Structure 1
Amino acid sequence: MIDVQSQLDHRNINIDKVGVKNIRYPITVMDKKNGVQHTVASINMYVNLPRKFKGTHMSRFIEILNEFYGHLDIREFSKILEAMQERLNAQSAHLEIAFPYFIEKNSPVTGTPGLMEYLCRVSGSLSDQDGYDLVVEVNVPITTVCPCSREISNHGAHNQRGMARLAVRFNRFMWIEDLVRIVEEAASCEVYSLLKRPDEKFVTEKGYENPKFVEDVVRDVAFELKQNEDITWFQVDVENFESIHNHSAYAFIERMR
């Protein structure tokens, strides 16, 4: 049968990334408490395409993914990227995996257990020019209490939920749980999936006694990461979904060791 993808293209333009997106696929994630955790990911796979080829072979991406079924985790990233490079005759390969990760958390006073969901992303790339690169990202819901509102108000202070995103490169593996804790400890208070009345009283008062701007949160996370010699690069941003304003508050820091 005619292989149209391998035919010559005469426009003389390289394509940086070509491939498949939004593949729903079961994966295994390393779990600090339980060893492993099974979840379902949304996967993107790309390679570069030299100017001489009309197209890439889309089916080969799925074939490679299927070969790693049952043991697709962060430890296999480099092997998958190598297979993509080899099978698709590419100089660079890219793999992005986004997935929900669940951590059991007890409420702070009554100790009631509940599962918290954190959206995570692992992005890897391999190229002849730049070598292997891996970025791990966690998205962590938080709560904050406005320091200015507390200072100027006779009663109470406005508070809101926010979303903190932390992405890191490291020279030694870091657990998702540890990255989540760094973010949660920088907030006015962390979020729980289940609270009884004594727990609700605790988190309300804890947040009030620990007011934070988005600027405070990103600085506290950055300060903690700068002390960790295993971190070689990080990005942290926080968006507060303001409760009394018609906009979000936002702050961002990126640093390289």
Structure 2
Amino acid sequence: MLQDVQAAPDVRGIPLDEVGIEGLRYPVLISNGQGDKRETVATANMSVSLDPGVKGAHLSRFIEVLHSWREQLGAASAVGIADDLRERMGSTRARVHMAFPYFLERSAPVTGAPAFVEYNCAVSAVSAREGSSLTLQVVVPVTSVCPCSKAISDRGAHNQRGWITIDVRPADHPTDLWFDELIAIAEAAGSSPVYALLKRPDERHVTMAGYDNPVFVEDMVRNVAQALANSNRIGAYRIRAVNDESIHNHAAFAELAWTSAAGSV
């Protein structure tokens, strides 16, 4: 029988907060808001706490757990992965973080031409003996038109690509809150959504729609906060908007965090 060094006792009496793997790229099937599954590649970080008398963690078990859940990544299963990991490792706490490109099919606003838009998303789950928690993150590209530039200019207004990041901790588990809803909230908060495919009539529409709806980064954060405040399914959130300014040599940003008594993001 091969010797299991990691299972040997450790006599230094020092517990470790986290031991695990990070930067693992792995194919998974992820559910979207319509109940369909779509293939993507996640970058996974997985860890467990280590008791003071345990020498090391069995790293192969991290991969085994991830592989067994690879075809059902969703809000409920993310917590299930962390629970499974904690139980298999015999730890008091386990954490799973997976970041991945998330694709939604979008139709151009006038012609209806379909194409996929990529959003950077992440799901984090923590499992502990006292309970579990889940955090969702979306990073959504938008177009923003400057209200000040529009007000002071004889013609036109400067516009740029903006990025809205929303981190949300659902109030309850399980939850039906998922990326699609957060993406829609972020896109509505900017001057206009960003599309992968636009024909000339679509480009005309998007240009004028953005011009008619100018927003600062402050406006975008407040618009998102206002939308999130209407949901009792959210226990905490953090919102950050960044504009890659087109006429300045710096970026502009605004940020807001809110938490209920239940916890924070």
Q: What is the TM-score of this pair, normalised by structure 2?
A: 0.90
Question: What is the rounded CA distance, in whole Å, between the counterparts of 1:239 and 1:194 in structure 2?
Answer: 23
How far is the alpha carbon of 1:213 from its aligned partner? Answer: 0.5
Residue 252 (1) aligns with residue 255 (2):
yes
3-state DSSP of counterpart to 1:62 = helix
**1:52-86 Cα distance to aligned partner (Å, 9 max, x none):** 33321111111222223433433322332222112
TM-score by length of 1: 0.93
Q: Confirm or deny: 8 A CA contact 1:29 1:74 kept in the other structure.
A: no
Letter in 1 for 2:47: Y
The 2-side partners of 1:19 and 1:12 are apart by 19
**Pair 1:81-2:95 in alignment:** no
Shift of 1:181: 0.8
Name the SS for the 1:109 alignment partner.
Answer: coil
- Which residue of 2 is the match for residue 114 of structure 1? 115
Give distance in 2, aligned partners of 1:175 and 1:55. 35
1:219 aligns with 2:218: no
Counterpart code for 2:134: L
- Cα offsets for 1:181-215 (capped at 9, x unmatched): 11111101110001111111111111111111100
- Which residue number in structure 2 is paired with residue 165 of structure 1? 165
Structure 2 residues without counterparts, runs of 5 or longer? 261-265
1:22-101 equivalences in 2 (<5 Å)? 22-33=23-34, 35-101=36-102
**Residue in structure 1 matched with residue 145 of structure 2 by the alignment:** 145
CA-CA distance at 1:11 after TM superposition: 4.5
d(CA) in 2 for partners of 1:215, 1:19: 39
Q: Distance in 2 between matches of 1:51 and 1:29?
A: 36
Q: Distance in 1 between matches of 2:152 and 2:73?
A: 53
Structure 1 CA distance for aligned equivalents of residues 235 and 110 of structure 2: 37
Q: Which residue of 2 aligns with 1:185?
A: 188
Q: 1:210 aligns with which of 200, 208, 213?
A: 213
2:263 matched to which residue of 1?
A: none
Contact 1:12 1:52 in 2 (8 A): yes
Report what 1:240 is aligned to: 243
Following the alignment from structure 1 to structure 2, what is the Cα–Cα distance between the partners of residues 73 and 229? 20
Give 3-state SS (helix, strand or coil) of 1:223's partner.
helix
Which moved further from structure 2: 131-140 or 23-32? 23-32
Q: Which amino acid aligns with 2:155?
A: H
Q: What SS is found at the alignment partner of 1:229?
A: coil
State the distance in 2 between where 1:232 and 1:71 align.
25
Identical columns (%): 43
- Kindly provide the amino acid, as one letter, of the partner of residue 79 in structure 2: S
3-state SS in 1 of match to 2:34: coil
Say yes or no: does 1:127 pair with 2:128: yes
1:226: how far off?
0.4
Counterpart contact for 1:27–1:73, Cα < 8 Å: no
Q: Does the 8 Å contact 1:240/1:250 carry over to 2?
A: yes
**Equivalent-residue separation in structure 2 for 1:10 and 1:206 (angstroms):** 67
- Post-superposition CA distance 1:131-176 (Å, at most 9, x none): 1000111111001011111112222111110111111122331232
What is the RMSD of the two structures over their aligned residues, measured on CA atoms? 1.7
SS at match of 2:168: strand
Q: Which amino acid in structure 2 is aligned with residue 41 of structure 1?
A: A
Residue in structure 2 matched with residue 155 of structure 1 by the alignment: 155
Figure out how many residues of one structure are paired with residues of the other and give that number: 256
Preserved contact between residue 75 and residue 178 of structure 2 (Cα < 8 Å):
no
Counterpart CA distance in 1 for 2:72 and 2:184 is 27
Distance 1:227-1:71 versus aligned 2 partners, 3 A rule: closer
Question: Could you say what secondary structure the match of 1:201 adopts?
Answer: helix
